[in-house]
Amino acid sequence: MQEERKVRVLLVGANLNEQEYFEESFQELEGLAIACHMEVVGNIVQNLKEISSSFYIGTGKVEEIREEAKELGAEIIVFNNELSPMQLKNLEDKLDIPVIDRTGLILEIFSSRAKTKEAKLQVETARLQYMLPRLVGLNSYLSRQGGGSAFNNKGSGEKKLELDRRKIEERLTELRKRLEELQNTRENQRKQRKKSGLPQVALVGYTNAGKSTIMNAILNYFDQPEEKQVLEQDMLFATLETTIRNITLEDNKQFLLSDTVGFIRQLPHSLIKAFRSTLEEVKQADLLLHVIDYSDPNFMEQMKITKETLKEIGADEIPVIYVYNKSDLMLDKLPFRDEDEIYISASQGRGIKELIEMISEKIFSDYVNCQMLIPFDKGNIVSFLNEVATVKKTQYLEQGTLLDLNCKLEYYHKYQEFVVTN
């Protein structure tokens, strides 16, 4: 099978007043382009004191970009900065080549990666909200890209450039209605999970920190079948859909583990808003595993961005374990644990056992060991406790069933009349 030809792109970045982490952000732009199956043929940087309202960058630099793009055979210009609709239009007119910005690129990736019905609707909603004020500039981009662009949607008429405000707004109304229906379904599923009483643990963190690798390592630890595994790729935004797995510990305690979409610098607000129902899984968690790529020189900044995003979605008060992944590249002795932090290597399976122990300590801290003597005519209570508690030993005495168990404090209080020792 012939490999699909990659679109040749020229990256452009404006460093405004010696912006902190500019180089890292610009490097990340290249990673985003690669994740979008583009071929980066060159890059241009301009240091700016102030933004040009017409082109974002200076007019001289615009001409330089035009010449460089022609020489390198670039088919698209990708800006690291978010461009206004007017800047986008002016640049396209001046450069005579399609222009997209960082937000547009991230939307491209999300659009090509969305697999579930809900994710596709969420991405399309965010994409149309982004396109609405940028129709003039994007028309040029769409017409040149033809069938190869992730912006294309056969049913929307984008190929014929017939999208206008009215059509987009009508489509957005329809999408929001369908999303609301799916969100109601998701909310009902969430309520059912809450009813089960199982603690919920969510993996969060910067994109490509290794969340999916950790989930798979935990599933492997408990010999879960291969079909339960999640997609694992060394690429930005490999995971878009939230995946939830039931984990049963060796003492029969259970919890739900979810893998979620990663965060990134300048994650478009339209995406956060569109994915709000998916991110609700994070908000509902009893414990967060904040996964950090410890081998990345910018891991502190990435942690900060993750914390800011968690605050934005209202999940900043949930207890956290900080999981420093890929630590084998930095430390000799693994795992290393310190209070709410653990240093592991998920790809090598080092520290997974200790991480599971930490999770267990956190989410089952309200469990107590006790013995209950339950009369034979209360067999329903025995059945219930066998389902929700860890029953270590069962004895049948004259007075009833004696259970040696580890259970939630609430069940201990609820059936206090049957407690014989603790």
The number of domains in the chain is 3
Q: What pLDDT sits at residue 271?
A: 76
CATH of the domain at 312: 3.40.50.300
Angle 162-166-172 from CA coordinates, rounded to 5° = 100
Higher pLDDT, 27 or 1: 27
Q: What pLDDT sits at residue 277?
A: 66
Q: What pLDDT sits at residue 242?
A: 77
Q: Are residues 269 and 342 part of one domain?
A: yes
Q: Are residues 148 and 265 part of one domain?
A: no
Q: What pLDDT sits at residue 151?
A: 45
Between CA 255 and CA 249 the distance in angstroms is: 8
Q: What pLDDT sits at residue 146?
A: 47
Q: What pLDDT sits at residue 270?
A: 73
Q: What pLDDT sits at residue 149?
A: 46
Closest CA to 218 of 227, 206, 234, 229: 229
DSSP 332: S
pTM: 0.77
Name the average pLDDT for the chain. Answer: 85
Within a domain: 216? yes
Give residue-wise pLDDT tens across range 352-392.
Answer: 999 999 999 999 888 899 999 999 999 999 999 988 888 88
Q: Are residues 153 and 13 part of one domain?
A: yes
Q: Print the domain residue range for 230.
A: 196-363
Q: Are residues 45 and 116 part of one domain?
A: yes
Between CA 23 and CA 31 the distance in angstroms is: 13
Q: Are residues 146 and 252 part of one domain?
A: no
Q: Are residues 331 and 289 part of one domain?
A: yes
Within a domain: 336? yes
Q: Using 50, 70 and 90 to split pLDDT, how confident is the model at 147?
A: very low
Give residue-wise pLDDT tens across range 71-93.
Answer: 999 999 999 988 988 898 899 99
Q: Are residues 204 and 89 part of one domain?
A: no
Q: What pLDDT sits at residue 66?
A: 95
Within a domain: 173? no
CATH of the domain at 138: 3.40.50.11060
Between CA 306 and CA 211 the distance in angstroms is: 13
Instruction: Compute how many other C-beta atoms are within 10 angstroms of the C-beta atom of residue 230.
Output: 17
Above 80 in pLDDT, residue 232?
Answer: no
